[in-house]
Amino acid sequence: MTASLDISEDDSDSIAELFNIGMGPPAAALSDLVGEPVELSVPSLRLVKRLSVAEELAVDSDSPVIAVREAFHGPFAGEAMLVFSQAAGLAMVQRLIPGELPADERDEALRDTLGEVGNIILDGCVASFSNMIRQEVEGGVPECSVGALDEVLAGRDETVMFVHIDARLSSGAANLQVLFFLDVAALDAFRLAIRHALAGLAG
Amino acid sequence: MTTVLIVDDSRLARDMVSGVIKSLQPEWTVVAATGGDDALTKVAEQTPNLAILDYNMPGMDGLTLAEKLREAHLMLPIAILTANVQDALRRRAEDLGCWFLTKPVTADKIRDLFQKTGVAS
């Protein structure tokens, strides 16, 4: 079956609202973890070529970034990702592991800590979606990587539905970007799932 | 002596759970394992009174590990620790007779788990 490669204004509004709802529990979990409120932007979404995404993220593309990625599949498939600047990643680690880390443990602590933050945010969001659409969505194990923005975003340069949410600690200590890349082959299944979820939410 | 097994591939997560347990029950022993195979080795050496297993781990996931632990330790209280609070996953955990513990852990959640599983009065 070929997916219809467009998103109507109504679908766009519905999908953004479900991502907004879906990010609530993981943002609350992150807030519990770091001990301060986490603020979320309104989700933005559009169909894009995957490799063009780097151009629109508010990250210094000349500096390495830290990404945590998790593939998911079920009635629809794709990839969820958290992207931190190095400064934001280190600030998050310092928040969760207070005190000076030995130099030879910093890299491992960075990957481990941000991997766990990724686990909480990305697994939490996948779970929220699964519960809203009442179908199981399986997530993989989050993987942490460090590199240039276009390297960590790398994937097949195909058209994806791209959803972008900015999350920041209210103190301004760290912000992170939450990205979802949905395979367009599954776009029709995704639309259908969204409509069922909205019908369920409407009671 | 009460022993709690914590299995999580994340050191941060292990340290957080261990820290909460130690704050509530300083005299208890906490044994940490980094994955399923490590956990099975440690359980063969010493049977814990309670096992807390991360769900989303490389290699063997927490539910698969729970099934393996159940084969040899039918009555062992097991909690599945996860941020993935899908209803389907919760049901699979409950079908295995496991408790469900959501990340991040807090003292209240661990205290509640101790009471529900009967490891602390």
Q: Domain segments of chain A: what residues?
A: 9-201
Chain A residues near residue B18 by CB distance under 8 angstroms? none
* Domain interval for residue B38: 3-116
B64-70 contacts: CB < 8 A, separation 24 or more? B64/B36, B65/B7, B65/B36, B65/B39, B65/B40, B66/B93, B66/B96, B66/B98, B67/B96, B68/B36, B68/B40, B69/B39, B69/B40, B69/B43, B70/B96, B70/B97
Q: Please answer whether residues B55 and A96 qualify as being in contact, where contact means their C-beta atoms are separated by less than 8 angstroms.
A: no
Is residue B23 one of the residues assigned to a domain?
A: yes
Yes or no, beta carbons of A116 and B13 under 8 Å apart: yes
Confidence of residue A12 (pLDDT cuts 50, 70, 90): confident
Is residue B121 one of the residues assigned to a domain?
A: no
| pLDDT tens per residue across span A17-69 | 888 888 999 999 999 999 899 999 999 998 998 888 887 776 676 788 999 99
Fold (CATH) for A9-201: Chemotaxis protein chec (3.40.1550)
User: pLDDT 10s per residue in chain B (121 long)?
Assistant: 899 999 999 999 999 999 999 999 999 999 999 999 999 999 999 999 999 999 999 999 999 999 999 999 999 999 999 988 888 899 999 999 999 999 989 999 999 999 999 998 6
Yes or no, beta carbons of B83 and A32 under 8 Å apart: no
Q: How many structural domains does chain B have? A: 1
Q: Which residues of B102-111 are buried (b: 16+ CB within 10 A; e: fewer)?
A: bbbbeeebbe
pLDDT of residue A1: 43
pLDDT of residue A2: 45
pLDDT of residue B121: 65
Q: Please answer whether residues A117 and A31 qualify as being in contact, where contact means their C-beta atoms are separated by less than 8 angstroms.
A: no
Q: Flag whether pLDDT at A198 surpasses 80.
A: no
Task: Assign residue B75 the CATH number of its domain.
Answer: 3.40.50.2300
Q: ipTM higher than 0.85?
A: no
Q: What is the mean pLDDT of residues A58-82?
A: 87
pLDDT of residue B95: 94
Chain A residues near residue B11 by CB distance under 8 angstroms? 108-109, 112
Chain A residues near residue B93 by CB distance under 8 angstroms? none
Sign of CA dihedral A130, A66, A140, A73: positive
Interaxial angle between packed helices A9-22 and A24-34, expressed in degrees from 0 to 180 and rounded to the nearest 10:
30
Yes or no, beta carbons of B86 and A96 under 8 Å apart: no
Alpha carbon dihedral A157, A158, A160, A163, in 10-degree steps, equals 10
One-letter amino acid for residue A5 of the chain? L
pLDDT of residue B55: 94
pLDDT of residue B94: 94
Is residue B22 one of the residues assigned to a domain?
A: yes
Chain A residues near residue B64 by CB distance under 8 angstroms? none
| pLDDT tens per residue across span A122-175 | 999 989 888 888 889 988 899 999 998 888 887 777 889 999 999 999 898 888
| pLDDT tens per residue across span A84-104 | 998 899 999 989 988 888 888
Yes or no, beta carbons of B86 and A112 under 8 Å apart: no
Q: Please answer whether residues B5 and B52 qualify as being in contact, where contact means their C-beta atoms are separated by less than 8 angstroms.
A: yes
Confidence of residue A4 (pLDDT cuts 50, 70, 90): low
Is residue B71 one of the residues assigned to a domain?
A: yes
pLDDT of residue A202: 62
CB pairs under 8 A between A and B: 64
Yes or no, beta carbons of B85 and A127 under 8 Å apart: yes
